[in-house]
Amino acid sequence: MNLSTALFDHTLSAPIIIEAMTGGVKRAFDINAALAEAAEVLGLAMGVGSQRAAIEDPRMAYTFTIVRKRAPHAFLIANIGAPQLAEYTVDDIRTALDMIEADALAVHFNPLQEAVQPEGDPQYEGLVDKVKEVAASLSIPLIAKETGAGIAYEDARRLEETGVKGIDIGGAGGTSWAAVEACRAKALGNRHRARLGETFWDWGLPTAVSVVEVSQSVAVKVLASGGLRSGLDAAKALILGADAAGFAFNLLKPAVEGRVQTALERLMMELKTAMFLVGARSIKELQAAPAVIVGKTYQWLTARGFHPEKYARRRTP
Ligand SMILES: Cc1cc2nc3c(=O)[nH]c(=O)nc-3n(C[C@H](O)[C@H](O)[C@H](O)COP(=O)(O)O)c2cc1C
């Protein structure tokens, strides 16, 4: 059985991505080093957290540069917030890419977090044009990435037109930034923002729904993330249409505790077991396995104009 798969022009030993989490603060150095070592040993892809802090204060760059040092061969994804694209020059973006000798750039969209955050700045006007401009200027793939609210197929189509080569779903059902900001606002004594975060706690397209919508609507690579907790979840995401599966929350504690390689090996073992049980010898065969979509996900997809029963029979290896 072979778990290896192509992601852009790179071969991963399994379709697993360590999602963007950290950098820019002292504590991130050890976490990023641990994540990068595991990515290198296991042949997986890794995204770094937002590089804003290090672009604005180069003294923080070491918390990111360690990633390429510890993972000289891994597929590494740089990370910038979409609202920052409006402020940054081409040189700023180049600085972020050079910091980790990036193989791809993820531009993250977090309008929900910006809207709830007490100091948030929900400036999204004109960003589609800016994404287009940046995509055209890069020699590596640009990935548009959500951070917990998922991506609708209408937006995926607009993003594809801008020239992005990948979409990271970042769907609802996992880490919720509305929840994080609600807790922060509460701690700061900002009752209105806390209430706002509570109201939008679960806002967004569930990851499964978003993966189907997007992978059925555009030809770019689809990375499934948001609430994936096991290799079985990764297998389901791949069957639903994803090209790779991303994990953040359930790798953070293992990274802090020095057992992230073991956590990733468990994910790979679970993925392999799911493949064995459906008789798939390769990731391509797994992706062609019939999907049975029931319950709320089925209702949601049909309400959005997708027909899961047709979809289940459509894919061929
Ligand atoms: C602690 C933490 C920090 C994160 N920081 C970033 C970030 O800086 N940039 C970004 O694009 N996404 C960030 N994310 C979002 C993840 O990359 C990913 O899209 C999402 O959390 C995946 O869902 P999961 O945490 O349920 O696995 C972060 C997630 C976590 C848990």
51 pocket-lining for ligand 1 (C-beta < 6 Å): no
- Ligand 1: residue whose CA is nearest its atom 2: 21
19 pocket-lining for ligand 1 (C-beta < 6 Å): yes
CA of 281 to the centre of ligand 1 (A): 31
- Is pLDDT at 1 greater than 50 in this prediction? yes
Give the whole-angstrom CA distance, residue 231 versus residue 285.
16
Query: Would you give the DSSP letter of residue 143?
Result: E
Q: What tens digit of pLDDT does each residue of 263-317 get?
A: 999 999 999 999 999 999 999 999 999 888 999 999 999 999 998 776 654 454 4
Q: 20-29, 129-138, 302-311: which range is least confident on average?
A: 302-311
* Cα 154 off chain centre by: 19
- Quick one: which of 178, 273, 258, 163 has its CA closest to 220? 163
267 pocket-lining for ligand 1 (C-beta < 6 Å): no
CB atoms within 10 A of CB 249: 15
CA of 313 to the centre of ligand 1 (A): 33
CA of 232 to the centre of ligand 1 (A): 20
CA of 147 to the centre of ligand 1 (A): 6
pLDDT of residue 317: 45
Contacts of 13 (CB under 8 A, 6+ apart): 3, 4, 42, 43, 44
What is the distance in angstroms between the CA of the first residue and the CA of the last residue of the chain? 15
- Is pLDDT at 249 greater than 50 in this prediction? yes
CA of 20 to the centre of ligand 1 (A): 5
CA of 299 to the centre of ligand 1 (A): 28
Give the whole-angstrom CA distance, residue 273 versus residue 269.
6
Task: Indicate the pLDDT class of residue 121, thresholds 50, 70 and 90.
Answer: confident
The dihedral formed by the CA atoms of 30, 35, 39 and 44, expressed in degrees to the nearest 10: -150
Give the whole-angstrom CA distance, residue 5 versus residue 17.
12
145 pocket-lining for ligand 1 (C-beta < 6 Å): yes
175 pocket-lining for ligand 1 (C-beta < 6 Å): yes
- Quick one: which of 93, 108, 50, 100 has its CA closest to 71? 100
50 pocket-lining for ligand 1 (C-beta < 6 Å): yes
List C-alpha distances in Å: 16 to 151, 233, 264.
Answer: 20, 11, 9
- Is pLDDT at 69 greater than 50 in this prediction? yes
Q: Print the SS3 string covering 55-88.
A: HHCHHHCHHHHHHHHHCCCCEEEEEEEHHHHCCC
Task: Indicate the pLDDT class of residue 47, thresholds 50, 70 and 90.
Answer: very high
pLDDT of residue 309: 72
CA of 233 to the centre of ligand 1 (A): 17
**pTM exceeding 0.85:** yes
Pocket test for ligand 1, best of 146, 147, 177 (most atoms within 8 A of CB): 147
List C-alpha distances in Å: 151 to 21, 170, 258, 299.
Answer: 19, 8, 33, 18
Cα angle 188-193-199, degrees, rounded to a multiple of 5? 130
- Decide if 291 contacts 240 (C-beta within 8 A): yes
